[in-house]
Amino acid sequence: MSKKKWRVGMIGAGAWSDIQLNAWAGVGNAEVVALADRHPDRRDPVVRRFNIPQGFDDFESMLDNAELDFVDICTRPYSHVPLTKMTAERGLPVLCQKPFCDSIEEAKELVEFCDKAGVRLMVNENWRWQAWHRKARELLDSGALGKPFLVTIRWRLRMTLPGFDFNQGYFPEMERFITYEMGVHYMDTLRYLFGEPNFVFARHHRLGPDMKGEDVNVLVVAYDDLTVAIDTSFASVEVPGVDRLEENPDTWSPSQFRIEGTEGTLILDVNRSLTLVTDTDRQEWQFPSETIRDSFASAQQHFVDCLESGADFETSGSETLKTMALVYACYRSAEEERPVDPKEFL
């Protein structure tokens, strides 16, 4: 790690800002020196709580007046295009929150804009940095599972029934919801573990009375010799010990997965245990409660490390186009009731 302290300018003091700022505190060679948010009533308490030297009402004023090395855009998706362009015009690298943009056309335009400006762009996708996913990749690469042929993934959170109850209060207004917010995590993680899928098939349901977008999905992601089935619900009643830890239900739990291969089966349980079972052996790894929290810092550390080394970002803008193509393919599939090849969007 270099001795240089990278100066971060962040925009957004909303529901996710505490998580983002706590993660920056875990990046030893970076320091948030400025925070912009047009709402002083939410910005100023965050500035005080995290001892940020400068607070700005206006993002452009922060870009023009703060001494910055790069910008962290921690705002809603609809704002990502104008904020990223303003940053790129000043030659500053960008770490942009997921989901990337409101459409694949916007995402393509933004990647091209940053490329022409010679500005480095990474999308802040953290699931691939969760330690159990890194371990799963290690085991897959080692051949411990043989050839994977079936993957199942599930997640439950009681958010939209009987009425919406969550700290990100704009969720009910989103026309696209669970596949847009969660599907991007799944698709990026699948690409990290298994490469590029051939097609997707999706079903969506909307149950919450306050919701404009879907709050339940079932997604099938197809590879040549591998099938992935994903089911997610923000409407279901959670089952203690199955969907959430029984003894501490408020602790963030991982999305559970099961990877079945010709030589072994790998299972991630709600208790953060990863178990590999073969015909002759059983191995288990237990991950601490901080694992999900630490993945945020790991993603942001990766961003800074790549700025220093010149290495490619794992979730660069161009790589994220492939992830977003899969997300939008899911929506086309649900609307047209057919399998969709993500190449239709690239």
6-124 maps to which CATH number?
3.40.50.720
Q: Examine the pLDDT at 162 and tell me if it is beyond 90.
A: yes
pLDDT digits (tens, 9 = 90+) for 166-175: 988 999 999 9
Q: Examine the pLDDT at 81 and tell me if it is beyond 60.
A: yes
For residues 86-94, average pLDDT: 98
State the pTM of this model. Answer: 0.95
- Band of residue 139 on the pLDDT scale cut at 50, 70, 90: very high
**pLDDT score at 252:** 76
Domain boundary assignment for the chain: 6-124, 128-295+325-336
**pLDDT score at 245:** 87
Which long-range contacts link 292-295 to residues 24+ away (Cβ below 8 Å)?
A: 292/130, 292/252, 292/254, 293/19, 293/22, 293/23, 293/252, 294/26, 294/131, 295/126, 295/127, 295/129, 295/130, 295/131
- Band of residue 305 on the pLDDT scale cut at 50, 70, 90: very high
- Architecture, CATH, for domain 128-295+325-336: 2-Layer Sandwich (3.30)
**pLDDT score at 24:** 97
pLDDT digits (tens, 9 = 90+) for 223-264: 999 999 999 999 999 999 899 888 776 677 899 999 999 999
**pLDDT score at 3:** 65
Q: Examine the pLDDT at 152 and tell me if it is beyond 90.
A: yes
Q: Examine the pLDDT at 1 and tell me if it is beyond 60.
A: no
- Band of residue 2 on the pLDDT scale cut at 50, 70, 90: low
pLDDT digits (tens, 9 = 90+) for 33-70: 999 999 999 999 999 999 999 999 999 999 999 999 99
For residues 294-317, average pLDDT: 97
